[in-house]
Amino acid sequence: MRYRLVIFDWDGTLMDSESRIVTCMQAAARDIGWNELSRESVCDIIGLGLPEAIARMCPGIDDDRALVLRERYSHHFVTADQEPVAFFPGVEEGIARLRENPEQRLAVATGKSRRGLERVFAANGSGVWFHASRTADETRSKPHPQMLEELLDELGVEVGEALMVGDTEYDLDMARVLGMDRVAVTYGVHATNRLMQSQPTFVADSFSDLIDWLHH
Active-site choice (11, 167, 173, 181): 11
The CATH 1.10.150.240 domain(s) of the chain lie at: 18-80
The CATH 3.40.50.1000 domain(s) of the chain lie at: 5-16+86-214
Per-residue confidence at 176, pLDDT binned at 50, 70, 90? very high
Active-site choice (9, 167, 171, 181): 9
CA dist., res. 189 & res. 52, Å (int): 17
Task: Express each pLDDT in 117-175 by its tens digit.
Answer: 999 999 899 999 999 999 999 999 999 999 999 999 999 999 999 999 999 999 999 99
- Find the helix or strand (DSSP H, E) in which 202 lies: strand 202-204
Per-residue confidence at 1, pLDDT binned at 50, 70, 90? low
- Find the helix or strand (DSSP H, E) in which 45 lies: helix 39-45
CATH 3.40.50.300 correct for 18-80: no
Cis preceding linkage at 143, omega within 30: yes
Is residue 37 a contact partner of residue 26, using CB atoms and an 8 Å limit?
yes
pLDDT the model gives residue 28: 94
For this structure, is 31 an active site residue?
A: no
Would you tell me which CATH number, out of the four given (3.40.50.1000, 3.40.50.10860, 3.30.420.40, 3.40.190.10), belongs to the domain 5-16+86-214?
3.40.50.1000
pLDDT the model gives residue 216: 82
- Ramachandran region of residue 33, left (φ > 0), alpha (ψ -120 to 50) or beta? left
For this structure, is 81 an active site residue?
A: no
Torsion angle, alpha carbons of 205, 140, 146, 108, to 10: -40
Q: Are strands 202-204 and 132-135 parallel, antiparallel or unpaired?
A: unpaired
Task: Express each pLDDT in 59-106 by its tens digit.
Answer: 999 999 999 999 999 899 888 877 778 999 999 999 999 999 999 999
